[in-house]
């Protein structure tokens, strides 16, 4: 499409707005309510333009570009109109910083006073220098305001976690309301009251914590002024630099931009990279700073003397750890799955080559990929699975099987929200997301177990399809199997039938699940039934890893697997209970060992835990922002980033500590200290990493398995049906926003920033 803007020929895509066309051509048009990813709002009217042939002025953000249009964005009349509109916006907003005659020399003269509850001037404003209102005022040439100042004197909302809401600085652009509804699917915020009393608020004026807010921080990130400000950042001086990292809190692989000052982290902001596209969750947005520099960090090595952990030099702690591990008859090693691949590789080599043990396992265990491996053996080939989260957006039907998407997979949930806004229907088995934007079209009660419900759904799909079922190998056998199963109750059959009709009618379809749906690597019955359902309706399987580096660590362990596999985490914990091990090198998150603590325990960790308090030697490990390294997301995106900040105290990267221990085992050249060399060795050993060049851009190096021929159905034994108890009125489900926020304690869990998992 071709049009003319300010005398220049501009080419833009079909469906673009005039504002998008102008900015794409490098023509500046000021705006306050517009934001990438949000639908046009046309609330601020700063982007008014003149279109030849139209009598009125048009908002560029909400006016579609048309072939042959002639648009003028910079005329004296438009400039005067924009200044007048901005004056009206500022009628109830402090504007001293916008028209101050001394603002050019202000930075040289002012003192920094930021610890305040109310904002009436630029010196006290937490967004001074980054406020979009200041930028727009400069663009439109505003030098004086004719309207009298009218300070609204509203109370600052401080009752919620993480950020303050000061609506004295709000310009009613609606960005926070729209991002909450259109992008996050929550719709917690809205305009309340009328006329000059209009402000942003919640239903009945309740706190955000009681209104369904999950504190993703999207509203804070899109706010153009200082109305929404992170509380931990408000009293801090402005950042002096930035660094990019991969978020370590879940398997989505979000890219975060850390703002830095004086060697510390000011805050974390979501980057525009895939897959998060400028979005984050409560943990990635607000907990990074606390995880790196908050309370509970292990800052110095300690050795147990006379029953007490005493601080010692790092060399002395390493000597004591090496002596105890060498003297032990049989030792086990538990290493963290949420560390960079370089460190995980060094842990693996140390356990197998120097400790000489098969009792080496990652924690949390890589359940979903281990389950897929076991299922591949059962099928005889790798099952085709879709991993790209963006693929969910084109689906007409989504089945979420026993997976809490908003909590455990927030970025995958955003793709489901986008699909739902396009008209896709959601079928939920297990925890159903609550909210006005995305509601489940059908829900299934899993009862006492998942396999029975999955079998019931497969039977309902077969009945719904009837003779229209695809001619797949094993179809007749599957029909006979479900026909001989005990009948479900009438309400259950009704629910299964409703879900089956929705799934059969919507193409393309997706089935989302994680390790919580499978019950562990050994339980493949639910996965087998979900495979059958996917084959019958032509759906794609979407396995979701919950751990930050779960998929990469699993591929690493599989590439180094011996003819006899490692014992696994469950086996190690059982062996500790039966006193099979004399020593444990513990670097990963496990439950409190209690009485199962072995005679010698080395704990290498970032934060204090009950296990660390019981250890004989404590080694301080550096956190994700201090180590850098390579991470693999659930999509298979591989990203590498350098350390963002220096390690605190005596903490060192895990690989460096392991290499120092290896030197005391007689292996001075053991890899670990040189991370670049470790990554090169990794790329030689892991097939998916061959040819990888380290970067933060994100290469998809772990491709999904391609469909192999015409794979058929899997015969599964139909589990006996058990009547589940009729639930009463449920309180907030486990893992709801209040529990996540009130129960998050960085000092309570091993590795500090490890996610909460189901019991092993």
Predicted local distance difference test score (pLDDT) of residue 727: 40
Contact, 738 vs 732, CB < 8 A? yes
**pLDDT by residue (tens digit) across 199-214?**
999 999 999 999 999 9
Predicted local distance difference test score (pLDDT) of residue 124: 63
Contact, 688 vs 555, CB < 8 A? yes
Mean residue pLDDT of the chain comes to: 87
**pLDDT by residue (tens digit) across 313-326?**
999 999 999 999 99
Give CA–CA dist 621/297, Å, rounded: 9
pLDDT band of 704, cuts 50, 70, 90: low
Of 172, 170, 173, 182, the closest CA to residue 39 belongs to 182
Contact, 544 vs 513, CB < 8 A? yes
534 CB-contact burial (10 Å; exposed 0-12 / middle 13-18 / buried 19+):
buried
Contact, 249 vs 281, CB < 8 A? yes
Task: Return the structure tokens found at 285.
Answer: 């947005």
Give CA–CA dist 661/653, Å, rounded: 13
In the predicted structure, residue 741 carries a pLDDT above the cut 80: no
Predicted local distance difference test score (pLDDT) of residue 426: 95
Predicted local distance difference test score (pLDDT) of residue 92: 84
pLDDT band of 743, cuts 50, 70, 90: very low
Helix 675-685 to helix 341-349 angle, to the nearest 10 degrees?
Answer: 80
Residue range 558-587: average pLDDT? 84
In the predicted structure, residue 757 carries a pLDDT above the cut 70: no
**pLDDT by residue (tens digit) across 380-414?**
777 888 889 999 999 999 999 999 999 999 999 99
Is residue 679 helix, strand or coil? helix
Task: Return the structure tokens found at 365.
Answer: 């265990």
CA atoms within 13 A of residue 642's CA, in its CB half-sphere: 5
Predicted local distance difference test score (pLDDT) of residue 739: 40
Residue range 52-73: average pLDDT? 95
pLDDT band of 760, cuts 50, 70, 90: very low
Predicted local distance difference test score (pLDDT) of residue 156: 92
Give CA–CA dist 760/758, Å, rounded: 6
Residue range 431-442: average pLDDT? 83
Is the preceding omega at residue 364 within 30 degrees of 0, hence cis? yes
548 CB-contact burial (10 Å; exposed 0-12 / middle 13-18 / buried 19+):
buried
The percent of residues in the chain predicted with pLDDT above 70, rounded, is 88
Element containing residue 620 per DSSP (H, E): strand 617-620
Strand order from edge to edge, sheet including 70-72: 8-11, 2-5, 70-72, 48-51, 58-59
In the predicted structure, residue 237 carries a pLDDT above the cut 80: no
pLDDT band of 346, cuts 50, 70, 90: very high
Residue range 57-64: average pLDDT? 96
The percent of residues in the chain predicted with pLDDT above 90, rounded, is 63
pTM attached to this predicted model:
0.90
Element containing residue 255 per DSSP (H, E): strand 255-261
Predicted local distance difference test score (pLDDT) of residue 737: 39
In the predicted structure, residue 723 carries a pLDDT above the cut 80: no
Predicted local distance difference test score (pLDDT) of residue 706: 55
**pLDDT by residue (tens digit) across 121-146?**
566 677 777 889 989 998 999 888 88
pLDDT band of 722, cuts 50, 70, 90: low
Of 327-336, 346-355, 560-569, where does mean pLDDT reach its minimum? Answer: 560-569
Provide CB contacts within 8 A for 582, sequence distance 6+: 328, 329, 330, 331, 598, 599, 600
**pLDDT by residue (tens digit) across 626-663?**
999 999 999 999 999 999 999 999 999 999 999 999 99
**pLDDT by residue (tens digit) across 465-481?**
999 999 898 999 999 99
Element containing residue 512 per DSSP (H, E): strand 509-513
Bridge pairing between strands 48-51 and 58-59: antiparallel
In this structure, the number of other CB atoms found within 10 A of the CB of residue 732 comes to 10
**pLDDT by residue (tens digit) across 66-104?**
999 999 999 999 999 999 999 999 888 887 777 666 656
In the predicted structure, residue 600 carries a pLDDT above the cut 60: yes
CA 341 → CA 251, 345, 555, 726, distances in Å? 14, 6, 10, 46
Task: Return the structure tokens found at 149.
Answer: 């100042």
Bridge pairing between strands 397-401 and 509-513: parallel
Bridge pairing between strands 397-401 and 617-620: unpaired
Predicted local distance difference test score (pLDDT) of residue 25: 95
CA 358 → CA 362, 367, 574, distances in Å? 12, 19, 14
In the predicted structure, residue 522 carries a pLDDT above the cut 70: no
Helix 490-505 to helix 525-537 angle, to the nearest 10 degrees?
Answer: 50
In the predicted structure, residue 724 carries a pLDDT above the cut 50: no
**pLDDT by residue (tens digit) across 258-301?**
999 999 999 999 999 999 999 999 999 999 999 998 789 999 99
In the predicted structure, residue 753 carries a pLDDT above the cut 60: no
Bridge pairing between strands 637-641 and 629-632: antiparallel
Give CA–CA dist 627/342, Å, rounded: 10
DSSP one-letter code for 183: I
Domains of the chain: 2-113+123-140 (3.10.20.740), 163-293 (3.30.70.20), 302-366+549-700 (3.40.50.740), 369-544+710-720+728-743 (3.40.228.10)
**pLDDT by residue (tens digit) across 578-594?**
999 999 999 999 999 99
């Amino acid at each position: 499409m071709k049009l003319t803007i300010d005398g220049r020929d501009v080419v833009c895509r079909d469906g673009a707005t005039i504002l998008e066309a102008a900015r794409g051509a490098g023509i500046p048009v000021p705006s306050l309510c517009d934001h990438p990813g949000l639908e046009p709002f046309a609330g601020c009217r700063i982007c008014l333009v003149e279109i030849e042939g139209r009598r009125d002025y048009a908002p560029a953000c909400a006016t579609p570009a048309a072939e042959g249009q002639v648009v003028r964005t910079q005329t004296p009349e438009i400039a005067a109109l924009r200044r007048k509109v901005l004056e009206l916006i500022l009628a109830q907003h402090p504007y001293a910083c916008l028209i101050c005659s001394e603002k050019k020399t202000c930075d040289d003269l002012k003192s920094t006073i930021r610890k305040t509850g109310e904002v009436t001037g630029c010196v006290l404003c937490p967004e001074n220098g980054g406020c979009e209102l200041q930028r727009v005022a400069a663009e439109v040439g505003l030098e004086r305001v004719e309207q009298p100042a009218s300070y609204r004197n509203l109370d600052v909302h401080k009752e919620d976690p993480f950020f303050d809401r000061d609506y004295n600085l709000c310009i009613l652009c609606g960005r926070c309301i729209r991002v909450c509804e259109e992008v996050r699917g929550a719709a917690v915020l809205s305009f309340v009251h009328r006329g000059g009393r209009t402000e942003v608020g919640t239903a009945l004026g309740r706190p955000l914590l009681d209104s369904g807010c999950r504190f993703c921080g999207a509203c804070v990130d899109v706010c153009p002024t200082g109305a929404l400000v992170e509380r931990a950042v408000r009293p801090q001086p402005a950042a002096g630099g930035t660094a990019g990292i991969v978020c370590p809190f879940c398997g989505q692989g979000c890219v975060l931009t850390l703002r830095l000052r004086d060697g510390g982290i000011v805050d974390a902001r979501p980057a525009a990279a895939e897959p998060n596209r400028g979005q984050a969750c409560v943990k990635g947005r607000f907990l990074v700073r606390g995880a790196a520099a908050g309370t509970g960090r292990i800052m110095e090595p300690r050795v147990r003397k006379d029953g007490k952990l005493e601080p010692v030099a790092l060399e002395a702690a390493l000597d004591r750890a090496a002596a105890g591990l060498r003297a032990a008859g049989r030792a086990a090693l538990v290493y963290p799955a949420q560390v960079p691949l370089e460190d995980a590789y060094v842990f693996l080599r140390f356990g197998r080559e120097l400790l000489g043990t098969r009792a080496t396992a990652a924690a949390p265990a890589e359940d979903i990929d281990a389950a897929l491996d076991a299922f591949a053996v059962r099928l005889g080939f790798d099952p085709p699975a879709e991993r790209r989260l963006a693929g969910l957006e084109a689906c007409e039907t989504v089945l979420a099987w026993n997976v809490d998407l908003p909590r455990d997979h927030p970025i995958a949930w955003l793709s489901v929200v986008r699909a739902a806004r396009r008209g896709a229907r959601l079928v939920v088995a297990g925890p159903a997301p609550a909210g006005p934007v995305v509601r489940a079209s059908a829900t299934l009660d899993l009862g006492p177990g998942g396999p029975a419900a999955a079998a019931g759904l497969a039977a309902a799909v077969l009945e719904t399809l009837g003779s229209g079922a695809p001619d797949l190998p094993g179809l007749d056998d599957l029909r006979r199997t479900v026909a001989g199963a005990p009948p479900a109750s009438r309400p259950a059959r009704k629910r299964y039938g409703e879900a089956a009709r929705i799934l059969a009618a919507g193409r393309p379809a997706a089935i989302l699940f994680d390790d919580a749906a499978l019950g562990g690597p050994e339980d493949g019955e639910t996965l087998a039934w979900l495979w059958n359902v996917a084959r019958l309706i032509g759906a794609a399987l979407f396995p979701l890893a919950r751990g930050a580096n779960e998929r990469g660590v699993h591929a690493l362990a599989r590439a180094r697997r011996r003819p006899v596999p490692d014992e696994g985490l469950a086996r190690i914990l059982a062996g500790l209970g039966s006193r099979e091990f004399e020593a444990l090198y513990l670097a990963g998150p496990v439950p409190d060992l209690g009485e199962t603590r072995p005679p010698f325990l080395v704990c290498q960790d970032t934060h204090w835990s009950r296990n660390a308090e019981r250890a004989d030697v404590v080694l301080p490990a550096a956190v994700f922002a201090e180590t850098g390294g390579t991470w693999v997301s659930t999509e298979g995106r591989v990203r590498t980033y350098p350390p963002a900040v220096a390690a605190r105290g005596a903490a060192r990267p895990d690989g460096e500590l392991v290499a120092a221990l290896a030197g005391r085992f007689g292996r001075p050249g053991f890899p670990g200290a040189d991370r670049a060399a470790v990554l090169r060795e990794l790329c030689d050993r892991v097939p998916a990493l061959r040819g990888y060049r380290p970067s933060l851009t994100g290469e998809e190096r772990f491709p999904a398995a391609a469909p192999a021929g015409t794979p058929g159905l899997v015969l599964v034994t139909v589990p006996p049906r058990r009547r589940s108890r009729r639930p009463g009125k449920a309180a907030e489900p486990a893992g709801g926003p209040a529990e996540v926020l009130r129960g998050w304690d960085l000092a309570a869990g091993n590795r500090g920033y490890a996610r909460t998992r189901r019991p092993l």
